[in-house]
Amino acid sequence: MFSLTLQILVYCNYKYFSTGKMGTVSENPFEAVEAARALSHSAENYANDEKIEVAWAIQAYDHAEIHFDIITSVDPKFLRLCPMEDEIYEHFRSKFSTMSVDTVDESELKSAGAKERWRSFCEEYKGKVEDYNFGTLLRVNCKEGYNDKNTIFAWRVQFLAIEIARNREGYNTPIFLKARQESRKTTD
């Protein structure tokens, strides 16, 4: 898992530094549209296609980058990550009441027992939350940004449940305040 995360981050950084553009599969816009269209089809239709994996990696990285920009720009207690936020939060805390969200233990997401509990949780959002089971990057420690040591894969609904809890329970506030303080230092 760690090496794939590292590969994604290395690829995205290479793409950014070599082209100055983030989030494009190639300079040809038709290839980017083709890759985006392919991501909308069922996974059963594909073998391990490198273009699809790269397109997914870029989309996941872009999502992570946007999410981090938002939580460091807007006070997280005011954020609404999706229309079903209240339901997801209440459901998450009823099913995972003791789970720590400030620093996520990967075994709470990936152990055999945890996978079964999470699968049941996530499947309840099939048809309710767009791309509910899309692979997403999740920060392990909410006090840090996305990097190869602080990033794991999660389903979109897992990401939403944990990040909604972080916002509501105040765990994302310190990173927002730190970014705000650094921003003020650069403008002074």
The per-residue pLDDT string of the chain (188 residues; one tens digit each, 9 = 90 and over) reads 344 444 444 444 444 444 444 333 344 445 555 555 555 556 555 556 677 777 778 888 899 999 999 999 999 999 999 999 999 999 999 999 999 999 999 999 999 999 999 999 999 999 999 989 988 999 999 999 999 899 999 999 999 999 999 999 999 999 999 998 888 877 76
pLDDT for residue 122:
96
Phi, then psi, of 139 in degrees rounded to 5: -75, 135
Contact between residue 134 and residue 155 where contact means Cβ atoms under 8 Å apart:
yes
Task: Look at residue 47 in the predicted model and tell me its pLDDT.
Answer: 58
pTM over 0.85: no
The 3-state DSSP composition of the chain as helix, strand, coil percent (nearest 5) reads 60, 5, 35
Instruction: Please give the domain boundaries of the chain with CATH numbers for all domains.
Output: 2-71 (no CATH), 78-182 (1.10.3560.10)
Helix or strand run (H / E) with residue 86: helix 85-95
Q: Which two tokens mark 133?
A: 């089971």
